[in-house]
Amino acid sequence: MVFLSMQSYPGVMTVTRPYHHGDLPRVLLQAAVTAIEEAGPAALSLRDLARRTGVSHAAPTHHFGDKAGLLTALAVEGFDLLAATLTAAGDDLLDVGVAYVDFAVRHRAHFEVMFRPDLYRADAPEVRAAQERAGAALHTGVATLPPDRAEPGEARTDALAAWSIVHGFATLWLSGALPADVEADPRIAARTVIRRLFPPP
């Protein structure tokens, strides 16, 4: 990590900055993740991010335009991260579903922003593209199901049902709405629930 000089301070010629020049966007996004994990996306404050990262209050605005711009970048990052996670989980639909829930729990801040389109510009082309990449990764898992049922549109229903059940479980888990007697490890509980939808032969 290199420390670079920073501009004027009263009485001090040079100060240091704990990140490479030009990396402020990434640093701000990381600070946003931390802040959201602490108090939720609704309580996020650009000025608080600036304080956390030691820059002026207007620095975040320069890079992201406005608050919605920052959350848009966070959503894009989240969808890409989700796509990578699902792809890495392999071909087994159970594993993909568990990976979805695991992503939501481990990247809670990203996940909460991603599915709250009133907070960011969900119609931005980079968002749409990232969403499609994540959707394709999810559909890949569904495609591995044995196509023994002949009804048309069955694969689409399977995909929608799989997405719904893992997304629902993840959001219920994150919102703390689940009763206390549910398995403490969300991955184990999720696997049990998903297996109820796609029972082994």
Partner DNA sequence: GCGCAAATCTTTATGCTGGCAAGATTGGAT
Partner DNA sequence: ATCCAATCTTGCCAGCATAAAGATTTGCGC
- Closer to a copy of itself at the Cβ: 53 or 131? 131
The full 3-state SS of the chain, as one line of letters, equals: CCCEECCCECCECCCEECCCCCCHHHHHHHHHHHHHHHHCHHHCCHHHHHHHHCCCCCHHHHHHCCHHHHHHHHHHHHHHHHHHHHHHCCCCHHHHHHHHHHHHHHCHHHHHHHCCCCCCCCCCHHHHHHHHHHHHHHHHHHHCCCCCCCCCCHHHHHHHHHHHHHHHHHHHHHHCCCCCCCCCCHHHHHHHHHHHHCCCC
The only residue of 26, 67, 116, 191 in contact with DNA, by rule CB under 7 A: 67
- Closer to DNA at the Cβ: 59 or 193? 59
The only residue of 117, 129, 136, 188 in contact with a copy of itself, by rule CB under 8 A: 117
The only residue of 16, 18, 21, 34 in contact with DNA, by rule CB under 7 A: 21
Which of a copy of itself, DNA, none does residue 55 bind to, with CB < 5 to 8 Å depending on kind? DNA
The only residue of 6, 84, 105, 189 in contact with a copy of itself, by rule CB under 8 A: 189
Q: Does 27 bind a copy of itself (CB under 8 A)?
A: no
Say which DSSP state 57 is in: T
Q: Which of residues 141-160 bind a copy of itself (CB under 8 A)?
A: 156-158, 160
| Choices 10-18, 22-30, 56-64, 109-117 (CB under 8 A): range interacting with a copy of itself | 109-117
Q: Does 56 bind DNA (CB under 7 A)?
A: yes
C-alpha span between 140 and 45 (Å, rounded): 38
The only residue of 72, 99, 165, 186 in contact with a copy of itself, by rule CB under 8 A: 165
| Choices 49-57, 100-108, 128-136, 174-182 (CB under 7 A): range interacting with DNA | 49-57
